[in-house]
Structure 1
Amino acid sequence: MAFSGKYEVESRENFEPFMKAIEMSNELIQKYKDIKGITEIVQNGNDFDVTMTTGDNVIHNKFTIGQEADFGTLAGTKIKSVANLDGANKIVTKLNSVTCVTELNEDKLIDVSASYSFSHQLIWFLLLCPSKDFKHQLSGCSVVIVLCKLEFIPAWF
């Protein structure tokens, strides 16, 4: 499946408890807890170019499946990791103690980040599919991203 598209946060679960568990500052938690982020993904084979915009914060991550890359976080840090495919529609990345799984599911990108006994989920809906033949490509434009969107570390994005 192709992950390419532009996605907006539809819902999130356990944001504040998860962010506290991974020791994100209260200042950053309060700043980002109610913001509906936008993520744009351009996939070319195993190469990904991901831009996440959350309020005034823009994180740009470029990576290739199976190769080490730097992944930016909401806190402004970079973490080295490797993004791997799990089947055709999941990307899994481990960022320090956080495992991020991004799954493409029809027109939704589901992002689950887990650390110890805490987890956080983001559901993104498709805003724009880059395909010329929308009907034919619709299933290829649905995504669940291992985007570990916030300092729970934007996993592969």
Structure 2
Amino acid sequence: MAFAGKWETETQEGYDAFCKLLGIPDDIIEKGRDYKLITEVTQDGNDFSWTQIYPTNAKVTNKFTIGKECDMETIGGKKFKATVSMDGGKLSVTFPNYHHTSEICGGKLVETSTAGSVVLKRTSKKL
């Protein structure tokens, strides 16, 4: 249950390059650059509810069970099917344009999104 709780962004690396690669407009990138993204996670065994609250108060909630295909949604509203896996305590899922992992390192939530050679790494503290 290490992921459960409310998290707030402390640092992010590669934000601009990653957002540009995904086609996010410059004005939205600017608004989000220093925003403290809030991530709320509930976990019941292998069942998760993962909510992210963005600068415009937009919310995206994805509910999933480890190892089972589910319906998911991107911040842009694109719906897709994916299977979240867990290996060594690290959650892993492939979105339409990138691969995403989440893990707890030193009491922090570390999320890494990789699209080709572009990497966004976000570290969040527990609230």
Q: Deviations over 1:101-144 (max 9, x none)?
A: 111123100000001110000001111xxxxxxxxxxxxxxxxx
Are residues 1:45 and 2:25 paired?
no
Partner of 2:84: 83
Identify if the C-alpha distance between structure 1 residues 19 and 123 changes in structure 2 by more than 3 Å, giving closer, same or farther: same
The secondary structure found in structure 2 opposite 1:17 is helix
Classify the secondary structure of the residue corresponding to 2:20: helix
Contact 1:28 1:75 in 2 (8 A): no
What is the DSSP-based 3-state SS (H/G/I as helix, E as strand, rest coil) of the residue aligned with 2:122? strand
Alignment of 1:30-69 (within 5 A): 30-55=30-55, 56-69=57-70
Counterpart-to-counterpart distance in 1, 2:9 and 2:84: 22
Please show how residues 5-154 of structure 1 align to structure 2 within 5 Å: 5-55=5-55, 56-87=57-88, 89-127=89-127
Q: Which runs of 4+ in 1 moved over 3 A?
A: none
CA distance in 1, matches of 2:94, 2:7: 22
Aligned length: 126
Unaligned runs of 5+ in 2: none
Taking only the aligned residue pairs, the percentage that are identical comes to: 35
Does structure 2 conserve the Cα–Cα contact (< 8 Å) formed by 1:90 and 1:101? Answer: yes
* Normalised TM-score (structure 1): 0.74
> TM-score, normalized by length of structure 2?
0.91
Cα distance in 2, alignment partners of residues 69 and 29 from structure 1: 29
2-side partners of 1:61 and 1:73: how far apart?
Answer: 9
Report the residue type matching 2:112 in the other structure. V
SS at match of 1:75: coil
Which 5+ residue runs of structure 1 have no aligned equivalent?
128-157
Q: Which amino acid aligns with 2:98?
A: V
Deviations 1:2-42 (A, max 9, x none): 31111000100110111111222323322322211111100
Partner amino acid for 1:119?
Answer: V
- Give the drift of 1:51: 1.5
